[in-house]
Amino acid sequence: MLYTIVDAGGQQLRMEPGRFYDVPCMPRLMPGTKVALCRVLMVRNHSDTKLGRPWVWGALVRARVMHTLKAEKKFVLRRRAKKKSRRKQGHRRRLTRLLIDSIEAYGQQLQSTT
């Protein structure tokens, strides 16, 4: 089993090659653009695990931008007790969908056996 834990936009995400992930918006990236995520916290390749302090030196995750999208709407309700004062406000975060192409560590591309 091959996977990695990456710090992307302040979130720690477990990523595997060939899967889609939604990360906080990466502005000005067109669909099809290739990106490299270099803040790799951990790499797991079968039984071999490499931990970073804080990041794994020489590790890289190569991904492709699929498109941008918006998350589900979150509502913020504010109400003052006994005053008949209410306010409802909504917010949708912008996200970028990435397709993980490969995981590299120490200059070589790691292969998944599944």
pLDDT reported for residue 26: 87
User: What are the 10-residue block averages of pLDDT along the chain, 114 residues in total?
Assistant: 92 95 91 95 92 93 96 96 94 96 88 68
The model's pTM is 0.83
- Give me 21's structure tokens: 């992930």
Report the pLDDT value the prediction gives residue 114, as an integer from 0 to 100.
56
**CA–CA gap between residue 59 and residue 54 (Å, rounded):** 12
**CA-to-CA dists, residue 75 to 21, 27, 33, 90, 91, angstroms:** 24, 24, 33, 4, 7
pLDDT tens-place string over residues 87-101: 999 999 999 999 999
Buried b or exposed e, range 73-98, using 16+ CB within 10 angstroms:
eeeeeeeeeeeeeeeeeeeeeebbbb
